Amino acid sequence: MNMGWGEYLLAVLGLAAITVVTRSFFMLSQREMPLPEWFKRGLKYAPLAALTAVIAPEIFMSNGHLIATLRDARLPALLCASAYYFWRRGILGTIVVGMLVYLPLHIGLGW
Q: What is the pLDDT of residue 35?
A: 87
- For residue range 62-103, what is the model confidence (pLDDT) as tens digits? 888 999 888 899 999 999 999 999 999 999 999 999 999 999
Confidence of residue 1 (pLDDT cuts 50, 70, 90): low
In the chain, domain spans: 70-111
- For residue range 6-62, what is the model confidence (pLDDT) as tens digits? 999 999 999 999 999 888 877 777 788 788 999 999 999 999 899 899 989 988 998
Nearest to 67 by CA among 111, 8, 36: 111
Judging by DSSP bridges, how do beta strands 61-62 and 65-66 pair with one another? antiparallel
How many CA atoms lie within 13 Å of 57's alpha carbon, on the beta-carbon side? 8
Task: Report DSSP state, residue 15.
Answer: H
